[in-house]
Amino acid sequence: MVFERPLCVAVDGFTLHAATRAGGHDEAGREALLKYILRPAVAQERVTRGPDGLVRITLKKPFSDGTVAVDMDPLSLLSRLAASVPAPRLHTVRYAGVLASASKLRARLAPKPAVALQPTADVPESPRRGAYRPWAELLKRTFGFDVLTCPCCSGRMKLLALVTDPTSVARYLRGIGEPTDVPKRTPARGPPYWASRVLRRGGGSVEAAE
């Protein structure tokens, strides 16, 4: 057991950091904590493309053998990233202990929902907002791109009509010059096979890992 700093411990290759906390009513703290937990597997600023076509991932800290970067072909990188994607309908964040849903002590830690005031004759009832955020807001928070901003006038767009009739859809596609026939499906093929290239770089030397 190794104590690196206060409230941080490393045991048998596993590390636990308990120096950062977010209270039940600290929305900004909870958002920052969740963004840290749900951060991507590879930092974008550490990924570069080399002239030889390989993708280089610069390590934050060198390995014990002196490796400071790993070069691999793009398909090998995608294969490793795909292996870290969770299965469908699988929770990526799980709570244990007093934060578990079946814990008897959860009510003492989790904040209670605010009690809605009954509308009166003088105060009209305001529209209730659901617990889930709209898809446009989620896209803006995740990718920083507002899909409801018009690219021409920068104004706010809104849904005017939804065309579902096949005849109307085909007429609209012909009007904008798009094909109306369904494209033919490409024949099925087996998974691709390739010669994987993974190189470890450190101290001016290159070592082939695969």
8 A C-beta contact, residue 5 and residue 90: no
pLDDT tens figures, 2-59 = 555 678 888 877 777 777 778 778 888 888 888 877 777 778 888 898 878 899 999 8
Range of the domain at 35: 1-39
203 found inside a domain:
no
11 found inside a domain:
yes
3 found inside a domain:
yes
26 found inside a domain:
yes
| pTM across the whole model | 0.42
20 found inside a domain:
yes
More confident: 2 or 193 = 193
98 found inside a domain:
no
pLDDT tens figures, 153-184 = 989 998 888 889 999 999 999 999 999 988 88
28 found inside a domain:
yes
Give the span between the Cα atoms of 158 and 46, in whole angstroms.
Answer: 39
33 found inside a domain:
yes
Closest CA to 105 of 114, 94, 95: 95
Number of structural domains the chain divides into: 1
